[in-house]
Amino acid sequence: MSYAPESIAYHQGEYKPLKECNENIMTHALQYGTMVFGGLRGYYDAESDNVYLFRPEDHMRRLHRSAHIMQMVPPLSESKMVEVALEITRRNNYRCNVYYRPFIYKDALQLSPRLHDVSDDFAMYSLVLDDYLDTSRGMRTVVSSWRRIDENIIPTRAKVSGGYANSALAKSEAVQHGFDEAIFLDSRGFVSEGSAENIFMVRDGVLITPPVAASVLEGITRRSIIELARMEGMTVLERDIARTELYIADELFFCGTGAQVAWIEEVDRRIIADGQIGPITRRLRDRFRQAVIGKDPETRNWVRPVFESRVNA
């Protein structure tokens, strides 16, 4: 994951090299965290020599909803934003896994922390990105000493940049103590999510994840996992999870655009079950991996191939 100055991004209504996409230091979004963002992936499949965007319409819909919560007026429609992601892929002629960062931000040079009467703009850049977490092994996690911000502090349903100070505090605390990732509790003390991923637990064959009211982001991977599990005939519950249920879970995993499906080996120094990836996690992870490159017959409509001419299938 690195800065590629020559890669083509979208900024102020134009496609241009990322190194030319600059903003004034007075920009409202920089001063107050008044930016809402998305994060989606394009998966490269060598067999069809194509890049597949994963649920781009759903990502742009969530971005628009985040903007609505923050009283922003998106300058582009959801479908135009999908077009920008497609165009960025084409202009960079990607033949690899890509991460796209679309965002709407308060671009006015304006002093007061408010939402109304401050202008908004939209931009998008992309990065070459394989795994964000090392998914070849289990995650070693700790419950964070930082609580998840809640709905009435900074809405977690919206991906507001300012809210990610909370994620950064938890992630750094976990990593600087030698772990891979943090697990947040919500303001009531129930399990919420990771610093940038949703969490799932398996108990007695049932797949369980915290409800959307537990200060979680309404993750698109979360929803995809729920849908895949139901297709597999599993029972899925969205219910509160207590901290110590994590310790005695049969299986635990994170999921998200960055994390994909990352199994959890340890929570608060307790090894989860036998310390190996569990069968349900493996099944869902394998199916998810097929789905993102358009090879899962039941979910083919989740992906959008970018290059028409490169598709041979």
159 included as an active-site residue: yes
- What string marks each residue from 220 to 259 as x (binds ligand PMP by CB under 6 A) or -? xxx---------------------------------xx--
Q: Does 126 bind ligand PMP (CB under 6 A)?
A: no
Nearer to ligand PMP, 255 or 280 (CB): 255
Closest distance to ligand PMP from the beta carbon of 196 (Å) = 4
Q: Does 217 bind ligand PMP (CB under 6 A)?
A: yes
Catalytic residue among 106, 159, 171, 295: 159
Closest distance to ligand PMP from the beta carbon of 257 (Å) = 3
- What string marks each residue from 28 to 47 as x (binds ligand PMP by CB under 6 A) or -? -----------x--------
Closest distance to ligand PMP from the beta carbon of 217 (Å) = 4
Number of residues that bind ligand PMP (CB under 6 A): 13
Closest distance to ligand PMP from the beta carbon of 226 (Å) = 11
Contact pick of 198, 209, 215, 299 for ligand PMP (by CB under 6 A): 198
CA distance 250 to 228: 19
Closest distance to ligand PMP from the beta carbon of 284 (Å) = 14
Nearer to ligand PMP, 60 or 196 (CB): 196
Q: Does 197 bind ligand PMP (CB under 6 A)?
A: yes
- Residues that bind ligand PMP in the complex, under the rule CB under 6 A: 39, 167, 193, 196-198, 217, 219-222, 256-257
Q: Which residues are catalytic?
A: 159
